Amino acid sequence: EIKHTWWKEAVFYQIYPRTFMDSNDDGIGDLQGIIDRLDYLKDLGVDALWLSPIYDSPLDDNGYDIRDYYKIHHDLGTMDDFKRLLQEVHKRDMKLIMDLVVNHTSDEHRWFQEALKDPNSPYRNYYFLYPQDNNIPPNNWESFFSGGAWNKYEEEKLWGLHLFSKKQMDLNWDNPDLRKDIIQMINDYLDLGVDGFRMDVINLISKTAGLPDGNVKLGKMMGYCGIEHYFYGPHLHEYLHEIHEKAFKPHNAFSVGEVPGLSMALSQMVTNDEREELDMAFSFDLLESPGHTRYEDYRYDLNAYRDQIHEWMTHYGNHCWMALFYNNHDNPRMVSKVDHTHQYDKQIETLLAIMQMTLKGTPFIFQGDEMGLTNYNFTSINQIHDIEGVNLYHELIKTMSEEEAFKIIKAGTRDHTRMMLPWNKASKETMGSLYQDAHVSMIKIYKVLIHLRKTHQALIYGDYHCLSSKHNTYIYERATENETCIIECNLSNTVLKAHNYPDMHRVFPSRVENSRLLGPYEARIYIKDTSNASH
Ligand code: TEU
Ligand code: CA
C-alpha cells in the first residue's frame, strides 16, 4: 500500500557546515571537514546528508541570505571542494541534499543590486520594490526578525519587502522569468549530481496579489501581521508543482519542504504523492507544547507530544510521509526543554532517539544529537550572534530590563544548536573519538537504533497502532505481515511498572535484565517474527 522509496528508508543527518568540523583551524567548519568525517557518519549508519547553505553570502543570517547561488562561500571551500565532497559521499553509497533558499536572496545578490539601481532592469520585477516617496510602508506586514517587513531605500525612493532580515529580500514568484532562473539553478545542481533539496520556508513563496494589509487582530494572535497573505498563498500549489515537473521529476530528485505554520491538513496537501509537489515536509507543530512558544522557558510536555504525534501517525495517511526530528539549527535542543535539571539527559536523549527511529517517518538527526549535546549555558547577550535573537533582544529592552530580556533570548535562541561540535582535537585522525565518554556511549546507542531500523522493515513501513496512552506512558506497535515491533516508553521522571512482553524478543536495550520496572524516561523495543505464526 505504501510506495517504497529510498528516502522513506534513509536516515538523514543535518550538517550545519560552519560549526560541524573545521579542517584548517581557522575556527570555521568547512567542506574538507565534512569530507574528513564521512567515514564517521557512514559508520553511524547515516544514509543521506542535508547541508545547510554553503553558498556565497554576506552572512547576515548565517548563509540563509544568498549572494550568489553558483558560488561556494570562501570560508567553507570552493566549487571544486564541493564536487569532491559530492563524489566522496556517493563513493560511500550515501546521498547529499542541499539547502534551497529561494523565498529571498541577499540584498547583495546581483539581481537585487540591478533591480535597485535601474528602473528598467528586468530584475526590478524579481522583487517587491515599490516606489514611494513618503514614510508609510506599502503595507502593515511584520518581519519574522522583529519590526516591519519593509526597508526604505532613501536614495532610490523605493520600499522593498523582506519577511526575514533587512538584507533578505523576498523574491516575486509571480514573475515567470524569476521562476525560470530559479528552476534553471535547481537543475544545474541536480545535473551536478546533487540528490535533492531541503526547501527553505517554501510555503511562503506565493503572496496575495497587490500585497494587501494583514488583519491586525490575527497578526497579534499569531505574532506576525500579514501571514494570511503568504503562509499558503494563492499559487503555492501551482509553483511547487512547476518546480517538481521541470526540475525534480526529470532528475528523480528528492524534496523536503520547510513549511512553518502549516498544520497537518495543509502539510498533507503539499506532500500528498498524487499532487506531485513535495516528497516530505518539516512541520513545526510538534516542536513546542500546545500553548507555548520557543522563547518561553517552560517544560516541554511529552504527554502532549504523544497525543499530537498519535494524531499524525493515525491520520497523516499512506500517501503522505513525515520527517521525524526534534532538533535543527533554528531551535534549542529538545532534551533541555524536557528537563531543566540535566539529571536525566541521557535517558531523555535515548527516549527521543528511540521514538525517532521507530515512529512512522524519516528520521533527521541534527549534528550533535548523536553526541548527546544539550543547550549551551549562555551567560551574556554578547555571546548571541543569531540575528533573530539579537533583533528580538533590542526590541524587548524597549519595554523590560536587560536581565529579563536576556532570559527570554537564552530560552529560545537559535545559537544553542549552532555551537562548534566538540570533536577531540588531539585525536582528529581517529574516527569517532570524542572528548567525553558520555558522547561515545550515545553514539553507540544511535548506531544500535539505526541498525535496528534498517534490519526491521516493520519499523519503516509497518502499520502503527497505539497500545497505551495512559498518563506518562506511550506504548505503540509497528507491524507488517512478517513481524511486529512494540515500543514501550516511560514519558516521565518517575518509575513505572513495565508491561513486559514474554512472547517477544527484547532488542533494546538487549543483554540487560528484564526488570519489572521502567526507570525514568526508559524505553524498550520488542520484536516478534510472525512470518511462521500461522503454521
Ligand atoms: O527558517 C524559517 C522559520 O520560519 C523559522 O524557523 C525561523 O527561524 C524563525 O524562527 C521564524 O520565527 C528558515 C531557516 O531554517 C532559518 O535558519 C532562516 O533564518 C530562515 O528560514 C530565513 O531563511
Ligand atoms: Ca575552517
Residue 167 lies in a domain: no
Low-confidence ranges of the chain (pLDDT < 50): 426-435, 535
Nearest CA to ligand 1 atom 7: 330
For the stretch 12-36, pLDDT in tens is 999 999 999 999 999 999 999 999 9
Rounded CA gap, 164 and 247, in Å? 27
Structural domain range at position 293: 6-105+176-378+431-454
Number of domains in the chain: 2
Rounded CA gap, 232 and 225, in Å? 15
- DSSP bridge pairs for 479: 463, 484
Residue 200 lies in a domain: yes
Residue 64 lies in a domain: yes
Q: For residue 518, what is the domain's CATH number?
A: 2.60.40.1180
- DSSP bridge pairs for 324: 363
Atom of ligand 1 nearest to the CA of 284: 6
Q: Are residues 444 and 498 in the same domain?
A: no
User: All 3 cell numbers of residue 83?
Assistant: 564536487
Nearest CA to ligand 1 atom 4: 260
Rounded CA gap, 185 and 445, in Å? 40
Rounded CA gap, 336 and 206, in Å? 36
- Give the Å distance between the CA of 81 and the centre of ligand 2: 13
Mutational test site, ligand 1, from 16, 59, 64, max ligand atoms within 8 Å of CB: 64
Supply the angle between the helices 402-412 and 387-396 in degrees, to the nearest 10. Answer: 150
Is 56 near ligand 1, meaning CB less than 6 Å away? no
Q: Are residues 326 and 468 in the same domain?
A: no
Residue 134's pLDDT is 83
Q: Are residues 197 and 238 in the same domain?
A: yes
Q: Are residues 440 and 476 in the same domain?
A: no
Atom of ligand 1 nearest to the CA of 387: 19
456: closest CA among 406, 421, 394, 505? Answer: 505
CB environment 139-172: b (16+ within 10 A), e (fewer): bbbbbbbbebbbbbeeeeebbbbbbbbbbbbbbb
Question: How distant, in Å, are the alpha carbons of 85, 385, 429 from that of 423?
Answer: 20, 22, 11
Rounded CA gap, 525 and 359, in Å? 12
Residue 218's pLDDT is 96
For the stretch 160-190, pLDDT in tens is 999 999 999 999 999 999 999 999 999 999 9
Q: Are residues 67 and 192 in the same domain?
A: yes
pTM: 0.96
